[in-house]
Amino acid sequence: MKKKAVLFDFDGVTVKSMEQHFEAWRAAFAEWGVHITPEEFFTLEGQGIDTIAHYLGKKHGLSEEQVKAVKHRKVSHYNQFMRLEFYDHFHEMVDRLHRNGVPMAVVTGGDRDRVQKIVDEHFDHYFSAVVTIDDVERGKPHPDPFLKAAQMLRVAPEECIVVENAPMGIQGAKAANMTVIAITTTLDPSYLKQADYIASDFYEVEKYLHELLGIQVQSD
Protein backbone atom coordinates (compact mmCIF):
# COMPACT_ATOMS: atom_id res chain seq x y z
CA MET A 1 0.00 0.00 0.00
CA LYS A 2 1.24 3.47 -0.90
CA LYS A 3 1.86 5.59 2.17
CA LYS A 4 0.38 9.06 2.55
CA ALA A 5 1.59 10.68 5.80
CA VAL A 6 4.64 10.88 8.06
CA LEU A 7 4.69 11.02 11.87
CA PHE A 8 7.91 12.17 13.53
CA ASP A 9 9.05 11.60 17.08
CA PHE A 10 10.30 14.82 18.70
CA ASP A 11 13.31 14.37 20.98
CA GLY A 12 16.05 12.53 19.12
CA VAL A 13 14.35 13.04 15.74
CA THR A 14 12.83 16.50 15.20
CA VAL A 15 15.27 18.07 17.65
CA LYS A 16 18.72 16.95 18.80
CA SER A 17 17.96 16.97 22.50
CA MET A 18 18.37 13.47 23.93
CA GLU A 19 21.93 14.08 25.10
CA GLN A 20 20.72 17.11 27.05
CA HIS A 21 17.83 15.15 28.56
CA PHE A 22 20.25 12.43 29.64
CA GLU A 23 22.61 14.92 31.27
CA ALA A 24 19.65 16.36 33.19
CA TRP A 25 18.53 12.91 34.38
CA ARG A 26 22.10 11.91 35.21
CA ALA A 27 22.64 15.02 37.31
CA ALA A 28 19.29 14.65 39.08
CA PHE A 29 19.83 11.00 40.02
CA ALA A 30 23.44 11.69 41.03
CA GLU A 31 22.14 13.95 43.80
CA TRP A 32 20.74 10.77 45.37
CA GLY A 33 23.87 8.70 44.73
CA VAL A 34 22.42 6.90 41.69
CA HIS A 35 24.44 6.41 38.51
CA ILE A 36 22.48 5.86 35.29
CA THR A 37 23.88 5.02 31.85
CA PRO A 38 22.88 6.57 28.50
CA GLU A 39 21.45 3.28 27.20
CA GLU A 40 19.42 2.86 30.39
CA PHE A 41 17.65 6.13 29.66
CA PHE A 42 17.59 6.10 25.85
CA THR A 43 15.70 2.78 25.77
CA LEU A 44 12.93 4.36 27.87
CA GLU A 45 12.61 7.50 25.74
CA GLY A 46 9.12 8.38 24.62
CA GLN A 47 7.22 7.40 27.77
CA GLY A 48 7.05 10.76 29.50
CA ILE A 49 8.81 12.16 32.54
CA ASP A 50 6.56 10.55 35.17
CA THR A 51 6.94 7.02 33.81
CA ILE A 52 10.70 7.37 33.33
CA ALA A 53 11.23 8.83 36.81
CA HIS A 54 9.24 6.08 38.51
CA TYR A 55 10.82 3.27 36.50
CA LEU A 56 14.40 4.37 37.10
CA GLY A 57 13.68 5.39 40.68
CA LYS A 58 12.19 2.01 41.54
CA LYS A 59 14.99 0.20 39.73
CA HIS A 60 17.58 2.02 41.85
CA GLY A 61 15.71 1.71 45.14
CA LEU A 62 14.47 5.27 45.61
CA SER A 63 11.35 6.13 47.61
CA GLU A 64 8.32 7.90 46.14
CA GLU A 65 9.40 11.16 47.75
CA GLN A 66 12.89 10.78 46.32
CA VAL A 67 11.44 10.08 42.86
CA LYS A 68 9.38 13.28 43.07
CA ALA A 69 12.49 15.20 44.03
CA VAL A 70 14.48 13.66 41.16
CA LYS A 71 11.75 14.59 38.68
CA HIS A 72 11.74 18.19 39.90
CA ARG A 73 15.52 18.40 39.74
CA LYS A 74 15.57 16.88 36.25
CA VAL A 75 13.40 19.70 34.93
CA SER A 76 15.61 22.26 36.66
CA HIS A 77 18.80 20.75 35.24
CA TYR A 78 17.30 20.46 31.74
CA ASN A 79 16.39 24.14 31.73
CA GLN A 80 20.05 24.87 32.47
CA PHE A 81 21.45 22.44 29.88
CA MET A 82 18.88 23.09 27.15
CA ARG A 83 20.17 24.52 23.87
CA LEU A 84 18.18 24.07 20.70
CA GLU A 85 19.92 21.94 18.07
CA PHE A 86 18.73 20.14 14.94
CA TYR A 87 20.06 17.21 12.97
CA ASP A 88 21.79 17.67 9.65
CA HIS A 89 19.35 17.62 6.71
CA PHE A 90 16.16 17.40 8.83
CA HIS A 91 14.80 20.81 7.86
CA GLU A 92 15.58 20.26 4.17
CA MET A 93 13.85 16.89 4.28
CA VAL A 94 10.60 18.11 5.87
CA ASP A 95 10.56 21.15 3.61
CA ARG A 96 10.66 18.94 0.51
CA LEU A 97 7.96 16.67 1.92
CA HIS A 98 5.79 19.69 2.70
CA ARG A 99 6.22 21.09 -0.81
CA ASN A 100 5.07 17.74 -2.16
CA GLY A 101 1.88 17.90 -0.11
CA VAL A 102 2.73 15.17 2.41
CA PRO A 103 0.75 15.54 5.67
CA MET A 104 3.08 15.47 8.69
CA ALA A 105 2.72 15.36 12.48
CA VAL A 106 4.81 15.20 15.63
CA VAL A 107 4.08 12.37 18.08
CA THR A 108 5.99 12.63 21.35
CA GLY A 109 6.21 11.68 25.00
CA GLY A 110 7.27 15.26 25.72
CA ASP A 111 5.04 17.82 27.40
CA ARG A 112 2.80 20.10 25.37
CA ASP A 113 4.23 23.48 26.44
CA ARG A 114 7.85 22.70 25.55
CA VAL A 115 7.12 20.86 22.31
CA GLN A 116 4.50 23.26 20.95
CA LYS A 117 6.73 26.27 21.58
CA ILE A 118 9.56 24.80 19.48
CA VAL A 119 7.19 23.59 16.74
CA ASP A 120 5.56 27.03 16.53
CA GLU A 121 8.91 28.80 16.31
CA HIS A 122 10.69 26.48 13.87
CA PHE A 123 8.16 24.19 12.12
CA ASP A 124 4.87 26.07 12.20
CA HIS A 125 3.94 25.47 8.57
CA TYR A 126 5.23 21.89 8.32
CA PHE A 127 3.29 19.93 10.94
CA SER A 128 -0.48 19.76 10.74
CA ALA A 129 -0.80 18.00 14.11
CA VAL A 130 1.13 17.68 17.36
CA VAL A 131 0.33 14.87 19.82
CA THR A 132 2.08 14.99 23.22
CA ILE A 133 1.94 13.01 26.45
CA ASP A 134 -0.66 15.54 27.65
CA ASP A 135 -3.07 14.60 24.85
CA VAL A 136 -3.53 10.87 25.54
CA GLU A 137 -4.29 8.66 28.53
CA ARG A 138 -1.76 6.08 27.41
CA GLY A 139 1.52 7.15 25.84
CA LYS A 140 4.20 5.12 24.09
CA PRO A 141 4.64 2.13 23.88
CA HIS A 142 0.85 2.05 23.46
CA PRO A 143 -0.48 2.87 19.97
CA ASP A 144 -2.82 5.61 21.22
CA PRO A 145 -0.72 8.72 20.36
CA PHE A 146 0.01 7.43 16.86
CA LEU A 147 -3.63 6.59 16.22
CA LYS A 148 -4.67 10.04 17.44
CA ALA A 149 -2.19 11.68 15.05
CA ALA A 150 -3.48 9.63 12.10
CA GLN A 151 -7.03 10.65 12.98
CA MET A 152 -6.02 14.32 13.13
CA LEU A 153 -4.36 14.04 9.71
CA ARG A 154 -7.41 12.16 8.38
CA VAL A 155 -5.41 9.20 7.09
CA ALA A 156 -5.65 5.50 7.88
CA PRO A 157 -3.04 4.15 10.34
CA GLU A 158 -1.70 1.72 7.74
CA GLU A 159 -1.06 4.70 5.42
CA CYS A 160 1.31 6.30 7.94
CA ILE A 161 5.11 6.15 8.19
CA VAL A 162 6.66 6.79 11.60
CA VAL A 163 10.22 8.04 12.11
CA GLU A 164 11.48 7.00 15.54
CA ASN A 165 14.74 6.61 17.44
CA ALA A 166 13.73 4.50 20.44
CA PRO A 167 12.22 1.05 21.12
CA MET A 168 9.13 2.31 22.97
CA GLY A 169 8.13 4.50 20.05
CA ILE A 170 8.78 1.74 17.54
CA GLN A 171 6.66 -0.65 19.59
CA GLY A 172 3.77 1.82 19.76
CA ALA A 173 3.90 2.60 16.05
CA LYS A 174 3.95 -1.08 15.09
CA ALA A 175 1.00 -1.70 17.43
CA ALA A 176 -0.82 1.02 15.49
CA ASN A 177 -0.16 -0.93 12.26
CA MET A 178 2.20 1.71 10.88
CA THR A 179 5.46 1.39 8.92
CA VAL A 180 8.48 2.44 10.97
CA ILE A 181 11.81 3.94 9.95
CA ALA A 182 14.24 3.94 12.88
CA ILE A 183 17.19 6.31 12.97
CA THR A 184 20.32 5.63 14.99
CA THR A 185 20.63 9.06 16.61
CA THR A 186 20.79 7.67 20.16
CA LEU A 187 20.92 3.87 19.98
CA ASP A 188 22.69 1.37 17.75
CA PRO A 189 20.66 -0.87 15.40
CA SER A 190 20.55 -3.78 17.86
CA TYR A 191 17.96 -1.84 19.90
CA LEU A 192 15.86 -0.95 16.86
CA LYS A 193 15.19 -4.33 15.28
CA GLN A 194 11.39 -4.02 15.46
CA ALA A 195 11.49 -1.25 12.85
CA ASP A 196 10.86 -1.95 9.18
CA TYR A 197 13.86 0.13 8.12
CA ILE A 198 16.91 1.43 9.97
CA ALA A 199 18.71 4.58 8.82
CA SER A 200 21.99 6.09 9.96
CA ASP A 201 21.10 9.70 9.06
CA PHE A 202 18.31 11.82 7.62
CA TYR A 203 19.61 11.52 4.05
CA GLU A 204 18.87 7.81 4.36
CA VAL A 205 15.55 8.46 6.09
CA GLU A 206 14.56 10.71 3.19
CA LYS A 207 15.44 8.01 0.67
CA TYR A 208 13.16 5.50 2.43
CA LEU A 209 10.37 8.09 2.74
CA HIS A 210 10.45 8.88 -0.97
CA GLU A 211 10.26 5.20 -1.85
CA LEU A 212 7.36 4.51 0.53
CA LEU A 213 5.42 7.63 -0.42
CA GLY A 214 5.87 6.92 -4.10
CA ILE A 215 6.92 10.45 -4.97
CA GLN A 216 9.80 11.71 -7.05
CA VAL A 217 11.25 14.67 -5.17
CA GLN A 218 13.61 16.92 -7.05
CA SER A 219 16.61 18.31 -5.22
CA ASP A 220 16.93 22.06 -4.89
Known catalytic residues are 9, 11
Kindly tell me the burial class for residue 185, based on how many C-beta atoms sit within 10 Å of its own C-beta (0-12, 13-18, 19 or more): buried
| E-strand stretches of 3-134 | 5-8, 104-107, 129-131
For 16, 121, 142, the CA distances from 160, given in Å and listed in that order, are: 23, 25, 16
Cβ 17 vs Cβ 85: under 8 Å? yes
Dihedral pair phi/psi, residue 160, rounded to 5°: -100, 145
- What SS3 class is residue 15? strand
